[in-house]
Amino acid sequence: MCGIAGWYRRAGRPVARDTIVSQCDRIIHRGPDDSGEFVDGDFGFGMRRLSIIDVAGGHQPIATPDGRYSVVFNGEIYNHLDLRTELGKAGVRFRTNSDTETLLLSFVHWRADAWLKLEGMYAAAIWDRAERILTLARDPLGIKPLYFTEQNGGLAFASELRALRVLPEHRFDIDERAVHDFWSFGHVQKPRSIYRQVRSLEPGHVLHVGPTGAPTRSVFWRPHFRIRAGVSEQDWIDETRTRVQQTVRRHMLADVPVGAFLSGGIDSGAITAAMTRSTERRIKAFTIGFPGSAIDETAAARRFAEHLGCDHIVLPMQPMAAQDIFPAVQRSFDEPCAATAAVPIWYLSRLAAQHVKVVLCGEGGDEIFAGYKRQRTAELMKRFSPAIRALGPAARLIDRLPRASSRSWNYLRQNAVRFRDAAMLDSGFQRFFAGTEITSPALRARIYDPELFRRQDGPDAYAKLEAEYFGDAAYRSLSPLQQFLLADLTVHMPGSLLNRLDRASMAHSLEARVPFLSHPFVDWALTIPLEMKLKGKIGKYVLRKAVEPWLPAGAIDKRKLGFQLPFAEWFRGDFSEFAREAWHGSGAAESGYLVGAEVDAIAREHRAGKANHGRILYAIIMWSCWWQDQKRPPAREVDGSRPAAVAAAGSPPC
């Protein structure tokens, strides 16, 4: 695991080694163990390394024996031993035991066909010294980040935005569309970044940059539903159990200790159980708790850990502790991010990094096995949509229902309105965007600056999003549930879940692996019939039945909670006032995007129980922290291992 960065300035304009060193120094938290740079005239790249495989011999950049090709690489290739055997039979010789060298020589030998052969997570940059061509590639699911910017005739790239912002001759202007993304979804929708000049390389894509002309892009992987018929339920259950065990065993490849994040749910429970069945060593399992909250899963996780024989380490989190670390969490992301689990995962990663270098996580289970409540709700919307449409104007009567002194009634009314509005949408894709919003169109119309709303939002917003991400006519043939699942996997997964996992873990030099998101495993999972995933009201049916023998009795019947913050509960107290103070104290109130009086009003409404505004209040805090950071100089490094902004978790908020 590493952080990578580089600059192809082109036109014979030399790149200074100090510039590459400066880029890499900004991401030292991603790799405190080692560093390396390579400069070749108008091109240079470098890396910071977190040593996991071939600790002694995996120094980067790695070059071919003739010096023509060099590589820097962030990630892990779990099948690299198999690939080395295959390459060895073809006469390829290795000088290290590193998966970085395996990736490079796979590319040299198989060229474009190499990427699909790699099972793992990666962002890679390969320099062809003879042809002066830079190749950038990103893993199929987007587990590892890779940003790039084209400016002044050149192209620069990096694992994080901060490593681009140190470059001379570059501009970084806030993208209003990305701002709209944030206030709509709690994160910037990829491939956009918060800066107009920067984009992320899309998952499963390769970018080639030559000495002249525009870069060319190609796609080597996309998810496709290829349902297999004629397989019995028991056979699907048995096959799922085998596949889970296999992918977990591959993901445990490391020369350092490997632990697990354990939330008490099926996904992390399945991963942890498979780990214990793959090694005789006791697994360290890490859980975050919320004492006194309805979403606290400590007891369930402890039951799992005891049943599986794990060393269980629990970190309780109180509202004031979360408040203290909000600024440090936000600084880990480079751009505004209000992902629900960002704070718990950051907090838990800090704990886990004291014990292990690698953790396995359950991300991806809900996307490929239909585990989200929003997916089941979308199916209900499809069923009730004709009836709601038949009501005509009468369907709007719910808007006239009065608010009451009862918080539960007000929340129910709010949810009923959102259900009705989403049920009226035309596709599973549109319902996905409605289901992953943190603000409704009505709330945005209220809190947005009127000109921002006019330019970026409106009644056809969902249709525009569908056209942007799923404009291919072939997608129309998918069922609404397939559309929803595909959007969860290709939009929400890389844009929010994997982004938060990478930043929160790497802020503490911790490698987080996701066995459910190996692309061969995903390809296989997309052959399972939908009725094996969503059976009545039971999501992840086949996964639950597959891992039932591994888990405590009754564990598969537990309601999903996962890693999240209890926003609604916390913001009823001092947190709502904290959001207002952060908004005004950071200068974000003068940013011109939201109406200040409405920000104050929604804080009051939430505190009074008139509506649940927990998600947008959290977003206001994180935006405020990010906005204030834009006015600060880049953080220096502390003891050569952490940016000061991340280390100072106890500093005054925002």
User: Which whole number is the average pLDDT over 203-226?
Assistant: 98
In a 13 Å sphere around the CA of 654, the CA atoms on its Cβ side amount to 27
The pLDDT of residue 296 is 80
403 falls in which pLDDT band (50, 70, 90)?
confident
pLDDT of residue 176 exceeding 70: yes
Cis peptide bond upstream of 61, omega within 30: yes
**Strand 511-513 to 358-360 pairing:** parallel
Q: What is the pLDDT of residues 306-344, one digit of tens each?
A: 999 999 999 888 766 667 788 899 999 999 999 888 988
DSSP labels for 507-525?
A: TTT-EEE-GGG-HHHHHHH
The pLDDT of residue 353 is 95
Sheet containing strand 198-200, strands side by side? 34-40, 43-49, 2-8, 154-158, 147-151, 198-200
Q: What are phi and psi of 55, to 5 degrees?
A: -55, -40
The pLDDT of residue 570 is 67
54 falls in which pLDDT band (50, 70, 90)?
low
Other C-beta atoms closer than 10 Å to the C-beta of 311 total 13
Percent of the chain with pLDDT over 70: 92
All structural domains of the chain, each given as residue ranges with its CATH number in brackets, are: 2-174+189-219 (3.60.20.10), 233-369+510-557 (3.40.50.620), 567-647 (no CATH)
Tell me how far apart the alpha carbons of residues 307 and 470 are, in angstroms, rounded to a whole number.
Answer: 44
User: Which whole number is the average pLDDT over 605-634?
Assistant: 85
The pLDDT of residue 571 is 67
Tell me how far apart the alpha carbons of residues 562 and 565 are, in angstroms, rounded to a whole number.
Answer: 9
The pLDDT of residue 635 is 45
User: Which whole number is the average pLDDT over 159-167?
Assistant: 97
User: Which whole number is the average pLDDT over 615-630?
Assistant: 92
Tell me how far apart the alpha carbons of residues 570 and 334 are, in angstroms, rounded to a whole number.
Answer: 25
Q: What is the pLDDT of residues 473-504, one digit of tens each?
A: 999 999 999 999 999 999 999 999 999 999 99
Q: What is the mean pLDDT of the chain?
A: 90
The pLDDT of residue 367 is 96
pLDDT of residue 641 exceeding 60: no
Q: Higher pLDDT residue, 402 or 475?
A: 475
Q: What is the pLDDT of residues 266-290, one digit of tens each?
A: 999 999 999 999 999 999 999 998 8
User: Which whole number is the average pLDDT over 295-301?
Assistant: 86
The pLDDT of residue 579 is 82
The pLDDT of residue 574 is 65
Tell me how far apart the alpha carbons of residues 584 and 572 are, in angstroms, rounded to a whole number.
Answer: 19
The pLDDT of residue 91 is 95
Going 311 to 358 to 190 to 327, the CA torsion angle's sign is positive
Q: Higher pLDDT residue, 469 or 387?
A: 469
Burial of 453 by CB count in 10 Å (0-12 exposed, 13-18 middle, 19+ buried)?
middle
Whose CA is closest to 268, among 313, 304, 309? 304
| Lowest mean pLDDT segment, chosen from 316-320, 566-570, 639-643 | 639-643
**Strand 358-360 to 258-261 pairing:** parallel
The pLDDT of residue 146 is 98
The pLDDT of residue 141 is 98
Tell me how far apart the alpha carbons of residues 100 and 59 are, in angstroms, rounded to a whole number.
Answer: 9
Q: What is the pLDDT of residues 497-547, one digit of tens each?
A: 999 999 999 999 999 999 999 999 999 999 999 999 999 889 999 999 999
User: Which whole number is the average pLDDT over 421-441?
Assistant: 93
Cis peptide bond upstream of 191, omega within 30: yes
The pLDDT of residue 57 is 63
CA distances from 517 to 312, 352, 367, 489 (A): 25, 21, 10, 10
400 falls in which pLDDT band (50, 70, 90)?
confident
User: Which whole number is the average pLDDT over 627-645?
Assistant: 52
pLDDT of residue 412 exceeding 90: no
Tell me how far apart the alpha carbons of residues 45 and 37 are, in angstroms, rounded to a whole number.
Answer: 6
**Strand 637-638 to 154-158 pairing:** unpaired
Site of tokens 């996991």: 52
pLDDT of residue 264 exceeding 70: yes
User: Which whole number is the average pLDDT over 388-392?
Assistant: 85
